[in-house]
Amino acid sequence: MKPIYLILSMPFDKVETCGSRFWGNPDLPHGVDYPTYVDDEGDDYPYYFICQINLEQLAPFDTENRLPHKGLLSFFAKIDHYMGYFAATGGIGGCTSDPDDVKVLYFPECNDDFREVVLVDDDGRPTAPKEMEIKFAHAIERYSDEHALFAPPTHREWETWDPPYENWEILLQIDSFCGMDFNLNFMDCGVLDFLIDPDDLKKHRFDNVRAIVLST
């Protein structure tokens, strides 16, 4: 199984609706709200939007046909703490997460029903870092950021994941990195791995994804 690397860059123009995008704001169909969870105080709190993958753009690189070749796959997680918001409660650590620590949404079709959903602060300013365009590749240069779909578990210091997730695969890996308006640091320059049951992957089910932070 070959990893598919995410190559990030600042776009010249705004990434198109349903385009492959890192940071910025998610595109969601009308009638679908921005995903939230209940925090420790009993309030609804938004997940942090990480990226969305246009599966048609990805398809030429998915030579093993592991993902659908149409639609949009969007990744959200409780990573506020790793973005420097240290007052945020909960989140993902060095053990396999609870199911509500991440949210992966799969939309089978990209159409005119989608719109960008922007979160703003109390002053009306967008809260997300500036969007980055995603391109795909089967290889990266040495010491490049290791953002990848189906990444090998090279950052894992033990043979398998903890029970009962022993055979689960890395659906998406996000590396620590920084930019002009953000600093994403998973513990000590580690990675965030989204884990999926191989049976769920075969059925294109993304409602039971977990996550773990690995740092050596």
Q: How many whole angstroms separate alpha carbon 146 and alpha carbon 175?
A: 5
DSSP string, 175-212: E-EEETTEEE--TTT-EEEEEE-HHHHHTT--TT-EEE
Does 43 have pLDDT greater than 90? no
Q: Which of 47, 73, 61 is nearest to 138 (CA)?
A: 61
Does 173 have pLDDT greater than 80? yes
Q: How many whole angstroms separate alpha carbon 130 and alpha carbon 107?
A: 23
User: What pLDDT score was predicted for residue 41?
Assistant: 83
4-214 belongs to CATH 3.90.220.20: no
User: What pLDDT score was predicted for residue 195?
Assistant: 98
Q: Would you state the structure tokens that stand for residue 9, as one six-digit string?
A: 């860059």
Q: Where are the domains of the chain?
A: 4-214
pLDDT in tens, 65-120: 999 999 999 999 999 999 998 666 668 999 999 999 999 999 999 999 999 999 99
Judged by average pLDDT, the poorest of 37-41, 48-52, 96-100, 136-140 is 37-41
Does 156 have pLDDT greater than 90? yes
* Residue 62 contacts residue 4 (beta carbons within 8 Å): yes
User: What pLDDT score was predicted for residue 143?
Assistant: 87
Average per-residue pLDDT for the chain: 94
Q: Which of 105, 98, 90, 53 is nearest to 211 (CA)?
A: 98
User: What pLDDT score was predicted for residue 182?
Assistant: 96
Other beta carbons within 10 angstroms of residue 106's beta carbon come to 16
User: What pLDDT score was predicted for residue 90?
Assistant: 66
Spell out the residues 6+ positions from residue 155 whose beta carbon is closer than 8 angstroms to its own: 190, 191, 193, 214, 215, 216
Region 185-207 average pLDDT: 96
Of all residues in the chain, the percent with pLDDT exceeding 70 is 97
Per the confidence metrics, is the pTM higher than 0.85? yes
Of all residues in the chain, the percent with pLDDT exceeding 90 is 88
Region 116-137 average pLDDT: 95
